Amino acid sequence: MAEQAQATAETGPRPIVPFLKLGAEPHLVGTKCSCGAVFLDTKRIACSKCGSTGPFETVRLSTRGKVYVFSVVHQSFPGIKTPYITAIVDLPEGVSVRTNLVDLDPLAVEKDPKQLFDMPVEMTTQVVAKDRQGNDVVAFAFRPIKH
Amino acid sequence: MRNVYVLGTGMIKFGRYPEKTVPELGAEAALIALKDAGITIKDVEMFASGNLYQSNAMVGQRILQQIGQTGIPVINVANACATGSTAFREAYLSVASGMYDIAMAVGVEQMGKAGLLGGGGGGSDPAYSPEGKLGSGLMPAVFGQAGIEHMRKYGTRMEHFAKISVKSHKHATRNPFSQYQNEVSLEDVMNARMVAYPNTLYMCCPTGDGAAAAILVSEDKLKKFAAGRKRPKIAASVLTSDPWTERDLTLPDVSTLTRRAAKQAYEKAGIGPEDIALTELHDCFATAELVHYENLYLCKEGEAAKFIDEGGGVHPDLGGKCPVNVSGGLLSKGHPLGATGVANICEVVWHLTQDERAKARQVPNAKAGLAHVIGLGSACTIHILTV
């Protein structure tokens, strides 16, 4: 949360996690080890795949990926609208991300789960909350790519 | 390492005990186990106490403050859902190493009606909580996805998960220690309220309270106290954590560490899955049980659905084979986190020793049994017991 604390000196929307970068072209960043492992972290102490202490490379992640698996959440915390689709999306850089899937009917997906496997999706962003300082908090989500 | 035996076991019925404290629940189970072993707390040389929700509150010592402050070493163990089984393993190691001859393990938890577990993170400002905004870390969804992964790979259908719930509920009707003892039909399970697809309400284990205990002894003490009674040997005690795998940091991989533990356990015990008369495995959700059929090598890779369709996992009395969770499993028996790992070892012990407490559901000719637990995060324990 250190990055968020620093960011509060500025004005404007805040990313919900440090590895989401906002701006004209919102995108995710990862930290890549020379062994090939990519982590959804903005910094690493060491690589949990090979044990290397670096140096690590910061990589800009693709905004497009494919759905690996999902679930439809019907019961959640207060304030979270249900049902919604939670999914694991594989990105081409070799890292997976947990995300909401939007622009799909959750109940239709339950009737035909196969339609989601390997579905091409793209990242979008949305304001999901206001923090204690009154700033918009922005989360990413993925949605089907419209042809 | 020396041979270690389970001399006594104790368990209270899982349920809800709002009028009691955690140490009281643990003390009740401990006293039953001591009596079953034919010893007193004065004979116990080491105590491993498993509890998760009060893991900073010296539960083990507070149990001894209820039943006997003998000044012995106490370890308080927390390891997610594998808390109780890890405590059992600490007791096992203390005797196997030769350090002590008699050790006690207690697993205890009081969850009340705690609802959805998991889904933490975000720091002090809830606006930054990722739950529901960046997908879900809630347990029903995490394990729902583990089931969907099996659907994706092998074409498994929701009915297969539902059949597991039907089976476990039926098993529980013969277990007086089970939190729920009601039968459900396939239609009941399929049409129940959806919690996180494909897990409906009856495919999710309940929360609750409970305690279980075991007394572990060396061969010398077995001869002294067992007095001819049959007592099982701990043929394998294995603990693994999650190795790096492709998606583990995003979608917890409950399979790889279970497979590693299973291979080690079978090798250590010198037997194979075909020799296991009964398995108590970690069915926190019906989807979890299905993937663990393969992870524990009870069936071949990709054949868990076929295994279910052919009566796999069902008690032989009910026409099945390779019985799994004859106690009712976490789905029916309940899942008071810290108690679970010791309780499923109790169940295996009772079948191996023809104990009265499992009489109504006795698995015939039980010479070896396996108890498996996963604590998400992750920790996996497997114990194989033999007579």
Mean pLDDT, contiguous 10-residue spans, chain B (387 residues): 97 97 98 98 98 96 98 98 98 98 98 80 87 96 98 98 98 98 98 98 97 98 94 98 95 97 98 98 98 98 98 97 98 98 98 98 98 97 98
Which residue, chain included where needed, has tokens 């032989």? B316
Catalytic site residues of B?
A: 81
Q: How far is A107 from chain B (nearest CA, A)?
A: 10
- Which two tokens mark A34? 């020379």
Element containing residue A86 per DSSP (H, E): strand A84-91
H/E element holding B68? none
- Distance, in Å, from the CA atom of B176 to the CA atom of B36, rounded to the nearest integer, reads 18
pTM of this structure: 0.96
pLDDT value at position A1?
42
Structure tokens of B86?
Answer: 């890890």
Q: Does B49 touch chain A (CB under 8 A)?
A: no
Q: Is A1 on the interface with B (CB under 8 A)?
A: yes
- Characterize the bridge pairing of strands A38-39 and B102-110: unpaired
B31: which 2 tokens? 């006293």
Chain centroid to Cα B317, Å, comes to 23
pLDDT digits 0-9 by tens, B310-324: 999 999 999 999 999
Q: Which residue of A has its CA nearest to B246?
A: A95
What span, in angstroms and rounded, lies between the C-alpha atoms of B355 and B379?
Answer: 30
Question: Looking at beta carbons, which residues of chain A come within 8 Å of B286?
Answer: none
Tokens of A99: 């995300």
| Pairing state between β B312-313 and B278-280 | unpaired
Find, in chain B, the residue whose alpha carbon is nearest to that of A39. B249
Question: Looking at A10-19, A80-89, A92-101, B334-343, which range is the least confident one?
Answer: A10-19
| Interior angle at CA B264, CA B261 and CA B270, nearest 5 | 135
- Closest partner residue to B116 (CB to CB) among A75, A95, A130 is A75
Number of C-alpha atoms within 13 angstroms, CB side, residue B89?
A: 24
- The residue of chain A with its CA nearest to that of B287 is A71
Strands A27-32 and A20-21 come out as: antiparallel
Q: Which string of DSSP letters, residue by residue, matches B163-209?
A: HHHHHHHHHHTT-TT-S------HHHHHHSPEEETTEEGGGBPPP-E
Contact of B153 with chain A, judged by CB distance below 8 Å, is answered with: no
CB A38 within 8 A of CB A31: yes
3-state secondary structure at position B312: strand
The per-residue DSSP string of B95-156 comes to HHTTS-SEEEEEEEEE-TT----B---STT-GGG--TTTS---BHHHHHHHHHHHHHHHH--
Place of tokens 């643990």: B26
A88–chain B nearest CA distance, Å: 7
Instruction: From residue B184, give the alpha-carbon distance in Å to each of B193, B201, B290, B327, B346.
Output: 14, 11, 18, 16, 25
Measure the CA–CA gap between B380 and B269, rounded to whole angstroms: 17
Look at strands A14-15 and A136-144 and give their pairing. Answer: parallel
Count of C-beta atoms within a 10 Å radius of residue A67: 23
CA of A40, closest CA in chain B: separation in Å?
9
User: What's phi and psi for B274, nearest 5 deg?
Assistant: -70, -15
CB contact under 8 A, B127 and A48: no
Q: What average pLDDT does this structure show over A4-18?
A: 72
Residue A140 to residue B194, Cβ atoms within 8 A: no
Strand partners, A31: A39, A58
At A10, the pLDDT band (50, 70, 90 cuts) reads low
Distance CA B178, CA A90 (A): 41
Looking at CA atoms only, how far is residue A45 from chain B in angstroms? 16
- Among residues 4-43 of chain A, which lie with CB inside 8 Å of chain B? 4, 16-17, 37, 39-40
pLDDT in tens, A25-79: 999 999 999 999 999 999 999 999 999 999 999 999 999 999 999 999 999 998 8
Which residue's entry shows tokens 């250590």?
A: B268
How far apart (Å, rounded) are the C-alpha atoms in residues B120 and B138? Answer: 8
**What's the pLDDT at B114?**
78
